[in-house]
Structure 1
Amino acid sequence: MLLGALLEKIEDICILKCVLRVLWLHSQKTGFPRFLSYEDLSNDTTIRAVTSADIDKVDRGLYDVLDQMVSMNILIGIDIRMDEGPQEIYMPNTQEGRRAVRYFQGQGLYMEHSDRVRDLSSGTTLKPNIFSLYEDSIGIIGHIVAEELKEAENQYPSTWIEAAFREAVLNNKRSWRYVEAILKGWSREGKGRSNGEPERYSKRPDSREWIKRYGLPRPSE
């Protein structure tokens, strides 16, 4: 998760304080998978102080704040099976957090249709944005690349972006320049289909022309 991009989308000071505290608490955990239980959060004096009242002395409640952070894709919230019963846990919505969810699913510990936590089966919590796609496909996001990612997210359909990252991975070309070249190629060669999927064009440039235009090898068909 890129902190700069995260801070830009948060306008509520209460949410901002909780996000910073949750990220710090999570960083203190060791091993894998790392997560924070609801009890970890509710017992934290800083979290309790922030969620009991914001700057306008309006009662917020921890559940309300956590639900908003999950809705904003800042946190992942799930229930897992434990010996003592179901446990509600939270993790930052990062590559590590999504890998932890897959781990719990693989171990048969992930509980669907939780009464208290957003259901991951709906796809809303783990829907990838361009930053998570970059982290999963390429690696750590630098400041300069982050600005380019934000521009690309505003310029291209999300289905194009997902498909471009997928094609880069399949071709073992894990670089933003390669993904960007794919997107520019689709944009210049024509519009996508009505369903949002990038179409293949009959008059694509040959390999030499592609390198001349974009400075990278042409993606495979």
Structure 2
Amino acid sequence: MKTQGEKKPFSGFPSGKTRTVPIPETFFTDLLPQIDHPGELRVTLACFYHLARRSGPVRYVRRSELEADPALTAALSPAEIREGLNRAVARGTLLHVRVEEDGRTDDLYLLNTARGRMAYEAIRRGARPPSLDLGESAVLVADRPNLFALYEQNIGLLTPLIAQELEEAAKTYPAEWIEEAIRIAVSRNVRRWSYVRGILERWAAEGRDTGGVDEAHRRRVVDSWKKLQR
């Protein structure tokens, strides 16, 4: 953090009509208790401020905007702003998209809302959401979610053994296979790495268009899991 010189105490909010910044209630109930890094908190709040100043169904904030924000840069260096953004992306608050436009590279950040996720998934599929007001020459690339974070968010606690298996799977299978296999496991309510691994092994042996493991295998996995719970 930047060292702060002596500053005057805050004189209070002005009277009369002032501009407000909408922040979802879940930020205070679910997200705020998890944020343990002051830089991440400052950057997250700055993103809400900049997103509120944009219009349109899908809003985004550029990293370059944050690095030019005098209020934010008074407290954080550019490197600390990037660290705060990376932490917010890893936590799932923001979705990160790289953009190349007119020979320059920048980073866009979408809020992880239903509309933000739809735009993000469209970009990952190679589409260009018309709701993003970017120039015609802009090229968008969406980051893939961190595999460990994806596992913890959808399957369960990450143990050292599972972490090792995930690393091996990442070396063996394409990233989109692992992501899709996890989604299939979640949709079938079998949140076990053994089930995800079974899908990947079957795709490797028979091709990805098999639709994952068959129903008989799913029942065997579910029955085995129920026995372990007794």
TM-score (norm 1): 0.49
TM-score (norm 2): 0.48
Select the structure of larger CA radius of gyration. 2
